[in-house]
């Protein structure tokens, strides 16, 4: 997962990449789950520019609390 910071309380998820041998095993979701957990723990917000993470945010309202 590639991300960059916007100030101290917001980060942009720019790209999520999973190696071919691990695709289809939920690794991308696990990466995003960890990013969401970190955002909650540290009171941060996420801007999901990555197409994958953006699509997950669009489908899963349970993580909208960390959406910027």
* Residues of the chain where predicted confidence (pLDDT) is lower than 70: none
- Over residues 25-34, the pLDDT tens digits come to 999 999 999 9
CB 13 within 8 A of CB 49: yes
CATH number assigned to the domain covering 2-66: 3.40.630.30
Angle made by CA atoms 18, 20, 36, in degrees to the nearest 5:
15
Q: How many helices (H) and strands (E) does the chain have?
A: 2, 3
Give the model's pLDDT for residue 51. 96
Residues 35, 24, 5, CA angle at the centre, nearest 5°? Answer: 20
> What residue spans define the domains of the chain?
2-66
């Amino acid at each position: 997962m590639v991300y960059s910071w916007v100030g101290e309380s917001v980060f942009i998820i720019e790209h999520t990449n999973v190696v071919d041998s691990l695709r289809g095993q939920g690794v991308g979701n696990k990466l995003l789950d960890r990013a969401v957990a970190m955002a909650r723990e540290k009171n941060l917000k996420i801007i999901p520019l990555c197409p994958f993470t953006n699509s997950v945010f669009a489908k899963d309202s349970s993580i909208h609390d960390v959406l910027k």
